[in-house]
Amino acid sequence: MKVFNQLLLTACSLAFLTSGIDTASASTSGKNVESSYNLATEYLTPKRVMWISDSTGKYIRKSNNLLLPFSGQVSVADTSYTTMISRDGSKAALLLDFGREIQGGIEIASSIRDSQTPVSLRIRFGESVTEAMSPITDKNGASNDHALRDFTLDAPWLGTVQVGNSGFRFVRIELEDSNVKYNLKAVRAISRYQDIPYLGSFESDNPRLNDIWRTGAYTVHLCMQKYLWDGIKRDRLVWVGDLHPEVMTILSAFGHNGAVNRSLDFARDDTPLPGWMNGMCSYSLWWIIIQRDLYMYRGDMAYLKSQHTYLKGLLSQVCGMIDRDGNEKLNGTRFLDWPTSENKDVINSGLHSMCYMAIKAGLELGKVLNDNGIVKMCSETAENLKKKDTGNYNNKEAAALKVISGLSRNKKDRDVILRSGARSFSTFYGYYMLEALAMNKKFDEATDIISKYWGAMLDLGATTFWEELNYDDIAKAGRIDEFMSDGKYNIHANGGNYCYKGLRMSLCHGWASGVTSWMTRYILGITPTEPGCRTIVVEPHLSGCNRVMGNFPTPMGIVRVSHKKNSEGKISSEITAPKGIRIILKNATMRHITYTE
């Protein structure tokens, strides 16, 4: 266990975050760190050559040489290269697998050959095998939106070229020129990520839950560039609503990170009032909620004060669109998530709950800022919103928002969420569904959904969590890291909906990571209840496991917890916390507590 914790606290743990990744291969040699944003560059060797266009040796020779380590320096004497030959109408091509999803590009090294003329290569990145093997067509959804994934380049004679800036695991390289013999020395992935430690951790006797926690953290880690993106292939943008689950995961796995503040400030500066962030009224509501949650976890008063003027103006704008009877009349694009985007009743119900959540968050922040105007305005508006009871329309998103907002008045909302288990919700709003189940003490049911739904992505070859997953597709689907066999459903090529149909769908999407935060909050049981984590309630619920231990970052240092459940279901705990943090233990007996300087 000591070795595990040491690994988790190093930047090299990037290679350890998903099952099946070889830590020894994740050498940080050649790593460059851009100090202003902690951005590192790491070169990765392919794990396997998955496919070659010709197995006879006539057009492709010694492809396994691409699996050899490469220093980055070509040599006139080196003969350990792969030969690709284009002749007789045949174009030599191969597919490489780098073992896990990364954000970045590739470096191609060319060995010596007879002609000094540059060689034209076609490159295709893919988050799945199918995507890397697919050209852009009108039907398959593959695109070059946000980041190029299908393009040609000229590779120099006896030299290297670096290209690409996208999210991918697989790379297809094809020789475009006719009647050419090309010696390909090496292809290395250039992984770009924040070089930061994983201060939070989760380790239990349930390996599936461990993998899910780490995969959620890794998904967000890749999206943490200078700004916090929603996806690393498509949606490399600051979508504010989508930020909320990402921010909660960051606070649980990494603690403070400048990408969060930069993204929130970017959204503020990009949206002069009376505009709505990203054009959607709900996303401005999420901005308010994130500010409250960020302050609770980090307690950064200086940062909160820098938001005061905009926060007050935005709250005034929202409150001005809610009448005395509690009817909200927010303009702009009215949106919760894509699966609910065509149901006006669900959107109306969800926005009512979101208004109440945002106004309550504004009320809390107004008190912290000693702004009586905000406090009075938000108090009155919250009371008005409570007058109106909206339905859930048998929809899990609407029901979940009612529950977590505090506006739910009966168990019917909970029952809607529980209906059909892991079906009928998005990877985005699945987080809020889990939160609602926890508020109804349905921890076992929530953990079962986590294991089935998020775990299913791992079963299908995922190393990061996806933009969407339809649970009914799982049983018939083939793995994304394999070629599709006959009779298997191609979940990447044929799945997805709305703006993310087919191969356009992102397989590394930060909004799907909220499960990591949920596991820290409810299985480890760690919840800050005073700004800056000055008071933390530890209330573990060991659903799905009998032992769990983990770390949680606070502004004052790391809180470490270890819980065990006996044969009678009773939990005992050991806790280590920095001095200055008050620990309140619930649902367990204390074996030992230690306070550190």
Is pTM beyond 0.85? Reply is yes
| C-alpha closest to that of 536 among 514, 558, 517, 519 | 558
Average pLDDT on 440-461 reads 98
Average pLDDT along the chain: 93
- Please give the pLDDT value at position 10: 37
The CA-atom distances, in angstroms, between 356 and each of 66, 258, 402, 551 are: 57, 29, 9, 32
pLDDT by residue (tens digit) across 479-536?
A: 999 999 889 999 999 999 999 999 999 999 999 999 999 999 999 999 999 999 999 9
Please tell me the least confidently modeled range out of 13-27, 104-118, 177-191, 502-516: 13-27
- Please give the pLDDT value at position 30: 53
Q: Look at residue 20 and tell me whether its pLDDT is greater than 60.
A: no
Q: Look at residue 571 and tell me whether its pLDDT is greater than 90.
A: yes
pLDDT confidence band for 89 (50 / 70 / 90): confident
The CA-atom distances, in angstroms, between 124 and each of 61, 268, 430, 486 are: 21, 36, 32, 24
Secondary structure (H, E, C), 538-571: ECCCCCCCCEEEEEEEECCEEEEEEEEECCCCCE
pLDDT by residue (tens digit) across 202-232?
A: 999 999 999 999 999 999 999 999 999 999 9
CA-CA-CA-CA dihedral for 126, 127, 133, 138, to nearest 10: -90
- Please give the pLDDT value at position 486: 87
* 11 against 499, higher pLDDT: 499
- Please give the pLDDT value at position 36: 74
pLDDT confidence band for 21 (50 / 70 / 90): very low
pLDDT by residue (tens digit) across 351-361?
A: 999 999 999 99
Which burial class, exposed, middle or buried, applies to 116 when counting CB atoms under 10 A from its CB (0-12, 13-18, 19+)? exposed
pLDDT by residue (tens digit) across 108-123?
A: 999 999 999 999 999 9
The CA-atom distances, in angstroms, between 353 and each of 253, 289, 442, 446 are: 28, 12, 21, 22
Domains along the chain?
31-193 (2.60.120.260), 524-596 (2.60.420.10)
pLDDT confidence band for 35 (50 / 70 / 90): low
CA dist 341 and 373 (Å) reads: 35
* Cis before 555? omega within 30: no
pLDDT confidence band for 33 (50 / 70 / 90): low
Q: Strand 571-578 vs strand 589-596: parallel, antiparallel, or unpaired? A: parallel
pLDDT by residue (tens digit) across 364-391?
A: 999 999 999 999 999 999 999 999 999 9
Q: Look at residue 93 and tell me whether its pLDDT is greater than 50.
A: yes
Average pLDDT on 69-79 reads 95
pLDDT confidence band for 25 (50 / 70 / 90): very low
pLDDT by residue (tens digit) across 225-259?
A: 999 999 999 999 999 999 999 999 999 999 999 99
Q: Look at residue 274 and tell me whether its pLDDT is greater than 90.
A: yes
Alpha helices (H) in 193-307, listed in sequence order? 207-223, 240-253, 258-269, 281-298, 301-306
Instruction: Provide the percentage of residues in the chain whose pLDDT is more than 90.
Output: 92
